[in-house]
Amino acid sequence: MADPLVLFDRWFADAQANEPNDPNAMALATANCAASPSVRMVLLKGHGADGFVFYTNEESSKGEDLKGNPFAALLFHWKTLRRQVRIQGKVERVSGEDADTYFATRSRDSQLGAWASDQSRPLENRQVFETRYEQMKDRFEGQAIQRPPHWGGFRLVPSVFEFWQDRPHRLHERRLFVAEPDGSWREGLLYP
Which distant-in-sequence residues (6+ apart) come within 8 Å of 24 by Cβ? 16, 43, 44, 45
The span from the CA of 155 to the CA of 165, in Å, is 25
B/e letters for 138-173, b = 16+ CB within 10 Å, e = fewer, are eeeeeeebebbebbbbbbbebeebbbbeeeeeeebe
Per-residue model confidence (pLDDT) at position 1: 59
Which residues are within 8 A (CB) of 149 and not within 5 positions of it... i.e. 6 or more apart?
none
Question: What pLDDT shows up at residue 136?
Answer: 96
CB atoms within 10 A of CB 38: 14
Q: What is the pLDDT of residue 120?
A: 87
- Mean pLDDT for each 10-residue chunk of the chain (192 residues)? 91 96 97 96 96 96 96 98 98 97 97 93 92 95 96 98 95 96 95 95
Q: For residue 160, what are the β-bridge partners?
A: 88, 178
Which residues are designated catalytic? 170
- Domains of the chain from N-terminus onward: 4-105+149-190 (2.30.110.10)
